[in-house]
Amino acid sequence: MSAMMTKADVDAELAAASGPLLLALTAPWCESCRKAEAVLQAVAEERRGLVKLVRVNLDENDWLAQRYQVDVIPTLLLFKGGRPVDRLTGIFSASEVDAALGEALKRA
């Protein structure tokens, strides 16, 4: 999980992503977040080079909760071209993440 990130850090990650970017908002105390980590790692590995995964500890970056109206963790935000295009919350499967990524990759 990444440490404290500023708005500029997040904006730079989004701007630098040449393809879809998954922004995983989690917390170390969250059991569902730990389960989601395995799913995210598997999807990121399978889509290596096509998608970037950025993990953020929401406890240290609570400003992101306001920015993206997050009230449940884990929350996975999918960005394309620097803009959010999809969101998964709570417990999600690799097939759900993969389906969201597939849709984003289809879009030009």
33 labelled catalytic: yes
pLDDT for 37-95, tens place per residue?
999 989 888 888 888 888 889 988 888 899 999 999 999 999 988 888 899 999 889 89
**Per-residue model confidence (pLDDT) at position 1:** 42
What is the per-residue DSSP string for the chain?
A: -B----HHHHHHHHHH-SS-EEEEEE-TT-HHHHHHHHHHHHHHHHTBTTBEEEEEETTT-THHHHHTT--SSSEEEEEETTEEEEEEESS--HHHHHHHHHHHHH--
Per the residue annotation, which of 1, 27, 30, 65 is the catalytic one? 30
The domains of the chain are located at 7-106
27 labelled catalytic: no
Quote the CATH superfamily of domain 7-106: Glutaredoxin (3.40.30.10)
The span from the CA of 9 to the CA of 4, in Å, is 9
Per the residue annotation, which of 5, 10, 22, 33 is the catalytic one? 33
